[in-house]
Each structure stands twice: as structure tokens, then as C-alpha cells.
Structure 1
Amino acid sequence: MIETVVLDVGETITRDDRYWAAWADWLKIPHHTVSALVGAVVAQGHDNAEALRLMRPGIDVGAEYRAREAAGLGERLDESDLYDDVRPALAELRGRGVRVVIAGNQTVRAGELLRGLDLPVDAIATSGEWGVAKPQPEFFRRVVEAAQAAPSATLYVGDHPANDIFPAKAAGLRTAHLRRGPWGYLWADDAEVNAAADWRIDSLTQLAAIVGR
């Protein structure tokens, strides 16, 4: 029985459109070029940081974040960044008595912005706040603590095989691979991903049926 559902952030509950557009503008690279580079990185199985390194070799991402903040161009997050199924799906889970947690590879500021959206969840945490990021095992140990349930009673939902599905499975959690965003679509039919994922979903609204089994 699933007692807690833990959700990734980028391309699980929020769209990455604004994220990449902001980096494109800051680095003065055309949006279509950034999209192509992100696609290339996804196809190679790498993560966001690799895309940024392609855009500007040797980039210090932390320093660039701070420079953007100082220039008044820091992170932003509002209702328009949420996928349409987020609020109804999370509300349905909580209505069924399921604990709902959001935990992903985001900055401290992103955690603050997420809390400001007043989502129907029990807890929100980011890698910036925890000081450890996916796919490190310590991140998923923290996930289990936040879940307040046994790993086998905790479902981790995400789009990224290497950051979400594989390490969550290795930590003993149940997993749901979401076919959403570049990673979700590209790896949706991969044999290893399908073997590691307990469920494959196209919408967060499908989670209610999973926890109700």
C-alpha cells in the first residue's frame, strides 16, 4: 500500500520553459539554439548542467545564478509554470489520506518559490536546502525521512531515468516514470526504464488509481 507520494519538480510539476528561456536570454543565445542543445544532452543521457556547459564552457552555474539575482533577473515561479494536472492530482491524493511531498534538484530560492504557491502538499524540499542532489543515495535517504513511511510504501514520481527512477528504485522506493518533458518522452519506451519503473504514467491524475489499489 502506498502511504506517501514524493514528486520531482522540473517537468513533473513545473514546466522548464521559463528556466531555459531565462538562461538563453542571460547567456545571449537564441532560444531555438538552447532547445537544440538541451535535446542533444537528453539524447546522450546527460543532465541540465551539461547543457549549460555546452552553452558556455567552464561555466560556474552557482556564480551565474548569483549574478542573475544581483541583476534582478533571478529565479521566478508562478501559477503559469505549473502543469494543469498538478493541483487536482495533489488535492486528490491528500483527500485520500496520502502524504504528499515535493523533492527535487532545485535551489534554495526555488524551494521558497514553490512554498509561495500554496500547493496542497505536506512538505517541500530541494537539493539546495538539503545540501545533496540526485542521483546521490543520500538524497533518497532524505526522501525517505521526509516521506515518514517505509521505502516500500513510498512512491517517487519523476521524468528522468538517471536522476529519478534508477536511484529511487535502488533506495527501495516504488517508482512511477512520467512521460513528460524531454527526458520523459525520450526514455518512455526504454527497456531498462520500463523494468525499473513500477508504473508508467502520462498524467499525475493517474496517481490516485495507483494509491487506491
Structure 2
Amino acid sequence: MIKCVALDIGETITRDDRYWSAWADWLHVPRHTLSALVGAVVAQGRDNADAIRLLRPEIDLPAEYEEREAAGQGERLDESDLYEDVRPALAALRDAGVRVVVAGNQTSRAGELLRALALPVDAVAVSGEWGVAKPDAEFFLRVVDLAAVAAPSAVLYVGDHPVNDVYPARAFGLSTAHIRRGPWGNLWADDPAVRASADWSIDSLTQLVDIVSG
């Protein structure tokens, strides 16, 4: 029985439009150029940060993050970055008596911004604070600890990315849901391996309420 729903962040609860647009503006390249490169590296199964490295092979990403923050062009996140189904779905899950946590591969700054949105969740955690990122098994061990459940199978991990979300979560014993959302979610939504690894395939977070209730 599902006792906790844990959700990925980027392209699961938040749109990545602002994130990539800000990088394109900072690097002084057309937004479409960077967007196309993101799609290319995604299709190749590479880390999405490789899109930036294709433009600037010598770039030091952590240092560049600091420069952006110092210049007042750092990370931003507000209500407009949330998908429309996020608040109603998360609130409905909590009303159903399920613990809800958000945990993804984001910076510490993104974690602060997410908490400032006061989402109807029990906890928010990011890899930048944990010092470990998906798909590392240690990340999912921490998710289970955060879920406060007796067994990993009582946690339903929801995400759009097979390699970072569905496959490692399943390997660690969590229940899994793959969402058709964003470039990763849409690209692999009907892939047989993804369908086989995900306990559920969904198009909206609102479907989670029926899943945990059933």
C-alpha cells in the first residue's frame, strides 16, 4: 500500500522553460539554439548540462552559477513555473492521508525557492543539499528515510526521466510512476522498457489520487 508519494521536480512539478531561457540569455545565444541542443542531448541519453557544454566546452558550471547569482541573474522560481495540476493534486493526496514529499536533482537555491512557494507537501529536499544526486542509490535511500515508511515499496516515486527516476527508483524497491510531461517524459512515454519498469504511466498528477486510493 502506498503511504508516501515522492515527486521529482524539473518537468514533473515545475516547467524548465525559465531555467533554460535564463541560461541562453546568460550565454548570449538564441533560446531556440539552446533548447534544440537540450533536445539533442536528451535523445542521446546524455546529461542535459551537456547542452551548455556543447556551447562552451570549457565552462565551469558551479563557478558560472555563482557569477550569475552575483550579477543578479541567478535562479528564479515562482507560481508561474508550476504546472497547473500541482497544487490541487498535492493537496488531494494529503487529504487522502498520504505523506507527500518533493525530492529532485536541484541546487540548494532551488530548494529555498521551492519552500518559499509553500506547496502542500510534508518536505522538500534537493540534491544540492544532500550532496548526492539521482540516479545514485543513496539518493533513493534518503527519499525512503524522508518518507518515513517501513519499506521502500510503500513509496511511489513520480518522475519524467527513465534513467534518473523510473529505473533507479524501481531498482531500489520503490513503486514508480512515469509522467508524460516535458521533453524526457514525452520522448520515452511509450518506450516498452519504460512502460515495463513503471508501475503506472500517467499524463497528469491528478491521477495519483486514484492510484493511492486503489
| Fold conserved between structures, TM > 0.5 | yes
Q: Helix, strand or coil for the counterpart of 2:124?
A: strand
**Taking every aligned residue pair, what percent have the same amino acid on both sides?**
75
Q: Which residue does the alignment assign to 2:74?
A: 74
In structure 1, distance between residues paired with 2:54 and 2:86: 32
Question: Cα distance, 1:4 vs. partner?
Answer: 0.1
Query: RMSD of the TM alignment (CA)?
Result: 0.6
Question: Cα distance, 1:55 vs. partner?
Answer: 2.0
Q: C-alpha offsets along residues 142-169 of structure 1, whole Å, 9 cap, x if unaligned?
A: 1110011121110000000000000000
Q: Which residue does the alignment assign to 2:213?
A: 212
In structure 2, distance between residues paired with 1:180 and 1:55: 26
Unpaired stretches in structure 2, ≥5 consecutive residues: none
Question: Cα distance, 1:124 vs. partner?
Answer: 0.2
Q: Which residue does the alignment assign to 1:129?
A: 129
Q: Which residue does the alignment assign to 1:193?
A: 194
Question: Cα distance, 1:58 vs. partner?
Answer: 2.4
Question: Cα distance, 1:51 vs. partner?
Answer: 1.4
Question: Cα distance, 1:117 vs. partner?
Answer: 0.1
Q: C-alpha offsets along residues 33-75 of structure 1, whole Å, 9 cap, x if unaligned?
A: 0111011011111222211211211221111100000001111
Q: Helix, strand or coil for the counterpart of 1:111?
A: helix
Q: Helix, strand or coil for the counterpart of 2:87?
A: helix
- Equivalenced residue count is 213
Unpaired stretches in structure 1, ≥5 consecutive residues: none
Q: Which residue does the alignment assign to 2:53?
A: 53
Q: Helix, strand or coil for the counterpart of 2:206?
A: helix
Q: Which residue does the alignment assign to 1:90?
A: 90
Q: Which residue does the alignment assign to 1:111?
A: 111
Q: Please, what TM-score do these two structures have when normalized by structure 1?
A: 0.99
Q: Helix, strand or coil for the counterpart of 1:22?
A: helix
Moved over 6 A (4+): none
Are residue 139 (structure 1) and residue 132 (structure 2) matched?
A: no
In structure 2, distance between residues paired with 1:60 and 1:166: 29
Paired residue type of 1:146: L
